[in-house]
Structure 1
Amino acid sequence: MFNRQSSADWNNNDFFGSKFKNCKGDFAKKLSERFGAHAPWMSGMGHRKAANIQENETEFIISLYAAGLQKEGFKIEVTGEDVLTIRYQAAETQNGQQYIHQEYQPGSFERAFQLNGKVLTNQVQASYQDGVLWVTLPKNPDTNKPAQEVSIS
């Protein structure tokens, strides 16, 4: 029978458990305290939210998995550089809160998507339902033309 090791095995191990328990979390916290939470190298440290992008005849749809977050914390904008930015500002948490095990770390995040002129930016809509943020981006018919095949002579 195959025996999988879990994080509980490492945390209860006398050699590794006491020294390395929550090592990643402590390291990320210290970097964030020293250099700020928005340092470029921190983008992959647990706050990047998964996003799917769908396309149909008339629109692109971004669904961003954001369970447990408050709708009021989101800010969505399209910049002059044709970039859609989704930001979330987490509410302040109680300092000094101790966990015996933590897999979920709520926090602020930012995701950006380059639109490349393919979207009618003045018609973008968003909704938040069942832990998923939905952003609907209507296609710009002038820039979303089907590819044309070129014959070779």
Structure 2
Amino acid sequence: MYHHHRKCGHGHSGMGFGPFGKQFGRAFAGNQYRVPVNVLKTENSYEIFVIAPDRAKEDFKISLKGNELTIAYQAKEDIKENQQWIRNEFTKASFERTFVIDETIESEGIKAEYKNGVLQVTLPIVPGSAKPAQEIAVA
């Protein structure tokens, strides 16, 4: 299992998402773009899908430091003169999302693929690491 943190300003503003069922919050926080993310649990892995169309795969940076997996994209200046946008809702803004992983993730097996505007990061689950459900008695 892992939890999600969003990097804001100088530190982490954590929003854990337990069994991945909670809302991630607003898509935009202040002036910082918050890229849409979906998380899927399969039998053998967690799959993180980052919706980031029209970007170059070389511009993504995925790193694991301790138990923090960070997915980042640094936008490049794309200034074209004489463009007069009537409407400009599509952004290629920079972003960074951080996920806290635990010992149930096989860190050496993490892999990523960027295809059709979606970055898919696969976090394999260590076989046999799932903990059984436990009932807690109310006193």
What TM-score, normalized by structure 1, do the two folds share?
A: 0.63
Aligned length: 113
Match for 1:68 among 24, 41, 54? 54
How big is the shift at 1:98?
A: 4.6
The residue aligned with 2:107 is: 121
Q: Is the 8 A contact 2:32 2:95 kept in 1?
A: no
Identical pairs, percent: 37
- Once the two structures are TM-superposed, the CA of residue 141 in structure 1 deviates from its matched residue by 3.5
Q: 2: distance between equivalents of 1:90 and 1:124?
A: 24
Matches within 5 A, 1:131-146: 131-141=117-127, 143-146=129-132
Residue aligning to 1:108: 94
1:94 alignment partner in structure 2: 79
- Over alpha carbons, which structure has the higher Rg? 1
Instruction: Give the TM-score taking structure 2 as reference length.
Output: 0.68
Q: Provide, for residues 25-54 of structure 1, a one-character-per-residue CA deviation record: whole Å limited to 9, x for no partner.
A: xxxxxxxxxxxxx7369x623621111111
- Work out the CA distance in 2 between the residues paired with 1:57 and 1:150: 25
Query: Counting strand residues as a fraction of each chain, which structure ranks higher?
Result: 2
Residue 62 of structure 1 and its aligned partner are, at CA, apart by 0.5
Partner Cα distance (1:93, 1:113) in 2: 29
1:49 aligns with 2:35: yes
4+ residue segments displaced more than 3 Å: 38-41, 95-98, 148-152
Deviation at 1:109, TM superposition (A): 0.7
Bigger drift between 108-117 and 129-138 goes to: 108-117
> Is the contact between residue 46 and residue 105 of structure 1 (CA under 8 Å) also seen in structure 2?
no
User: In structure 1, what is the equivalent of residue 25 of structure 2?
Assistant: none
Mapped partners of 2:84, 2:33: distance in 1: 20
3-state secondary structure, aligned to 1:106: coil
Q: Which amino acid aligns with 1:140?
A: V
Name the Cα RMSD after superposition.
2.7
Amino acid at match of 2:9: A
Which 5+ residue runs of structure 2 have no aligned equivalent? Answer: 1-7, 14-27
Unaligned regions of 5+ residues in structure 1, if any?
1-37
Q: Which has the higher contact order (CA 8 A, sep 6+)?
A: 2
Structure 1 residues 151, 129: CA separation in 2 closer, same or farther (over 3 Å shift)?
Answer: same
